[in-house]
Amino acid sequence: MAKAIGGIAGIFLKEATVLKAAARVRESGFVKFDAITPYPVHGMEEACGIKRSTIPYVAFAAGCTGLMAALALVWYTSVVDWPLNIGGKPMFSLPAFIPIMFELTVLFAALSSVVALFVHAGMPKVDPPVIDKDLTCHKFAIFIPENDVGYNADRVEKLLRELGADEVKKVAEY
Partner 1 sequence: MGTHSSHQELKLNKFELSSTLKGILGAALLIGLATFIFGFVKNPDRMWPAYLTAFFYFASIASTGMFFVAFNHAANAGWSASIRRFAEAMSAFFPYMLGGGLLLFVGIKYLYAWGVPETYHTLTGGKQTYLAPGFVLARMIIFGLGSIFFAKKIVGNSLKQDTTGDHQLTKNNLSLSVGYIAFFAIFFSLFSIDLLMSLLPTWYSTIYGVYCFAAGLQATFAFLSIVIVVMKNSKWISGYVTEEHQHDVGKYLKGFSVFWAYIAFSQFMLIWYANIPEETEFYIMRSLNGWMPVSFALLIFRFIVPFLVLLPRGSKRTDSILVGISALVLVMHYVDIYWLVYPNFFDGIPQFGLWEVGMFLFFAAIFLGSMFQFMSKNNLVAIKDPRLHEALKHHVTY
Which parts of 89-118 interact with partner 1 (CB under 8 A)?
Answer: 95-96, 98-99
Classified as helix, coil or strand, 71 is helix
- Span interacting with partner 1, options 35-43, 109-117, 140-148, 164-172, rule CB under 8 A: 35-43
- Span interacting with partner 1, options 29-37, 52-60, 107-115, 129-137, rule CB under 8 A: 52-60
Q: Residue 143 and residue 33: Cα distance in Å, rounded?
A: 6
User: Judged by CB under 8 A, how many residues of this single chain contact partner 1?
Assistant: 14
Q: 73 or 96: whose CB is closer to partner 1?
A: 96
Q: Residue 53 and residue 11: Cα distance in Å, rounded?
A: 27
For residues 159 and 20, the answer to whether their CB atoms sit within 8 Å is no
**Crossing angle, helix 15-27 and helix 153-162, to 10 degrees?**
140
Binding positions for partner 1, rule: CB under 8 A = 40, 42-43, 45-46, 52-53, 56, 60, 87, 95-96, 98-99
